[in-house]
Structures are given as structure tokens and as C-alpha cells.
């Protein structure tokens, strides 16, 4: 059976792509942020996963406000990076873990979830940034296949934190019942605190971000029992992306070991954090 070898969480701010594309990641402004990813990159090299499940939200690039699925599961054999308006980026396409995608979609429906199933779709910075932060930029092919899972965190009603948690439990069940010996990492993405719009545009909450990173592993019940409105209040309207980390956390065991955390404020307009978890 396939095996979950780790759960990683990270912000997915799009200017991280820009910093990498322009080669300014070692400037005094960016270096402290990128330094936090040396450990996760090394961890990936040592643990050699075959598949990365990437949980993220689309930001109006592959889907728009005319059709807003709450959850989407990718079952494609290839995903092209979305062109977000600046032309194609110099990164390879992503190979899809098609069979695991179908297996997960089927398991979700069996457990009374109703996802959209995507056979042809692009992946935006929500997926591109975590992949590059954790795996570096490959010459010609990414070292893992991906299973992308999109969560609507853009247009209310977004799913509840508890619902994201429940989906993570099904994800674990799907991976552990998948016939194969693939080593799977789960990447929860988004956050930490940020608000890009409205009266509170520019809102950051360092204290809440640090609390998140300090207790996400040991006390996930606290975070999954909060309401969506609590997330918006504490982390900002876009900071509510953090509910996607709960999918990853629920797929991990109750007892986990925190191998690494990092925090940097701000990356663009966001409190930027990452975490690396292993099952204890």
C-alpha cells in the first residue's frame, strides 16, 4: 500500500515565483525568507517521495467566479503551469498521479463528499510556489508526480475548517488503501495572515501566525473547531487559506514530530510560514 511519509505546510505567495524568476532570492530582502526552505528541500532529497499531494486554491486562473466548486480533485496525466498574465514561466509541466487521483475521487464520493473532477486544468502559483520551494527548480522534470486538490477559499461560502479536516481523513484512507508502494508527501498551502482587499487590506497578525506554527501540530483540534469567520478575523480574508493546512494535518497521525518551522514577515503582503511534520 502507498505510504504517507510526511506533511509539509507553506505559504504560496506569488511574488516568491517572481523573486525566483528574476534571480533576486538572495537579496537582503528575500534571503531570510528563502533560508527557511533549505531544510525542507534537504528533507525531500533524503526522503525521496514519489508523489506530492498539493492542496491549494485557484486564484481566478483556472476557474473564475462563474463556477466555484468547493473541492476539486485532479485526475489528469499532466498539468501545465497557469500563465497568470506575465507569460509562461520557465518551469516544467507537472506529471499527474492520475491513478491515485481517481482512487481518491472515488473514496471521497464513497464517504459522501461531492468533488468536481478535473481532467484538464492548469495549476497556478498556489501549486507552483510550494513545489519550487520544496523541490527547487528542475532542469527538465519534477522529481514527483502531483495529485492536486483545489479548495475554494476565494468566494464565500468557503468550506468549514472541520470539512477540510474530514477530507484529510479520507485522503489518508485513500493513500493507505492505494495498491502500490508509492511514498507520498502531503503539502498544505496558503496563509499565513494576509488580507489583500477591502477595508482591512494589508492586515497582518504576527501573534496569530506564531501561535499557528507553534500549536498546529500538537493541538489541531483548536484550529479545526474554529469557524470560517474566526479565520477571517484572526488571519484576514485571504489568510483563511490556512484551512487547507488542516487537510494535510488530518491525513497525518494524531501524534506527529515537528522537524522544522520557519516564519518570515512579510513576504509581499503575507506572514510567510512553513512546517515539516513526520508521523511519530
Q: Cβ of residue 198: shortest distance to ligand DHB, in angstroms?
A: 14
Q: Is 194 a catalytic residue?
A: yes
Q: Rule CB under 6 A: say whether 268 interacts with ligand DHB.
A: yes
Q: Per-residue string for binding with ligand DHB, 103-142, x by CB under 6 A?
A: ----------------------------------------
192 prior amide bond cis, ω within 30: yes
Task: Determine which residue in the list 270, 271, 276, 277 makes contact with ligand DHB, applying CB under 6 A.
Answer: 270
Task: Determine which residue in the list 7, 59, 94, 240 makes contact with ligand DHB, applying CB under 6 A.
Answer: 59
**Three-state helix/strand/coil letters over 53-76:** EEEECCCCCCCCCCCCCCEEEECC
* Strand pairing report for 78-79 and 94-95: antiparallel
Nearest CA to 267 out of 24, 18, 8, 16 is that of 16
Q: Rule CB under 6 A: say whether 182 interacts with ligand DHB.
A: no
SS3 of the chain: helix, strand, coil, percent, to 5: 35, 25, 40
Q: Rule CB under 6 A: say whether 194 interacts with ligand DHB.
A: yes
Q: Rule CB under 6 A: say whether 13 interacts with ligand DHB.
A: yes
b/e per residue 58-75 (b: at least 16 CB within 10 A): bbebbbeeeeebbbbbbb
How many angstroms separate the CA atoms of 45 and 27, rounded? 25
Calculate the alpha carbon distances from 153 to 72, 196, 238, 252 in Å: 12, 13, 8, 22
- The one catalytic residue in 12, 59, 103, 194 is 194
Beta carbons of 152 and 106 less than 8 angstroms apart: no
Q: Is 12 a catalytic residue?
A: no
Would you say 75 or 267 has its CB closer to ligand DHB?
A: 267
E strands present in 163-255 = 183-189
Q: Rule CB under 6 A: say whether 18 interacts with ligand DHB.
A: no
Q: Rule CB under 6 A: say whether 209 interacts with ligand DHB.
A: no
Number of residues that bind ligand DHB (CB under 6 A): 12
Would you say 197 or 253 has its CB closer to ligand DHB?
A: 197
- The one catalytic residue in 59, 103, 125, 262 is 125
Would you say 261 or 270 has its CB closer to ligand DHB?
A: 270
Residues of this chain that bind ligand DHB (CB under 6 A): 12-15, 59, 190, 194, 196, 238, 268-270
Amino acid at each position: 500500500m502507498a505510504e504517507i511519509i510526511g506533511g509539509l505546510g507553506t505559504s504560496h505567495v506569488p511574488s516568491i515565483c517572481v523573486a525566483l524568476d528574476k534571480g533576486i532570492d538572495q537579496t537582503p530582502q528575500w534571503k531570510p525568507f528563502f533560508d527557511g526552505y533549505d531544510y525542507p528541500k534537504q528533507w525531500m532529497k533524503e526522503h525521496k517521495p514519489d508523489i506530492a499531494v498539493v492542496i491549494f486554491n485557484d486564484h481566478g486562473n483556472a476557474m473564475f467566479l462563474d463556477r466555484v466548486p468547493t473541492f476539486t480533485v485532479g485526475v489528469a496525466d499532466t498539468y501545465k503551469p497557469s500563465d497568470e498574465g506575465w507569460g509562461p514561466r520557465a518551469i516544467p509541466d507537472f506529471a499527474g498521479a492520475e491513478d491515485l487521483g481517481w482512487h481518491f475521487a472515488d473514496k471521497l464520493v464513497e464517504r459522501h463528499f461531492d468533488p468536481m473532477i478535473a481532467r484538464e486544468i492548469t495549476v497556478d502559483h498556489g501549486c507552483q510556489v510550494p513545489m519550487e520551494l520544496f523541490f527547487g527548480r528542475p532542469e527538465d522534470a519534477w522529481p514527483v508526480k502531483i495529485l492536486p486538490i483545489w479548495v475554494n477559499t476565494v468566494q464565500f461560502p468557503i468550506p468549514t475548517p472541520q470539512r477540510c479536516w474530514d477530507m484529510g481523513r479520507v485522503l489518508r484512507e485513500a493513500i493507505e488503501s492505494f495498491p502500490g508502494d508509492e511514498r507520498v508527501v502531503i503539502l498544505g498551502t496558503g496563509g499565513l495572515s494576509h488580507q489583500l482587499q477591502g477595508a482591512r487590506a494589508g492586515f497582518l497578525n504576527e501573534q496569530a501566525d506564531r501561535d499557528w506554527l507553534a500549536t498546529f501540530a500538537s493541538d489541531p483540534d483548536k484550529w479545526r473547531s474554529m469557524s470560517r469567520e474566526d479565520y477571517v478575523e484572526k488571519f484576514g480574508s485571504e489568510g483563511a487559506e490556512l484551512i487547507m493546512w488542516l487537510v494535510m494535518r488530518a491525513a497525518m497521525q494524531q501524534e506527529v514530530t515537528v522537524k522544522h518551522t520557519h516564519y518570515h514577515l512579510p513576504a509581499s503582503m503575507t506572514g510567510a510560514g512553513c512546517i515539516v511534520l513526520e508521523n511519530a
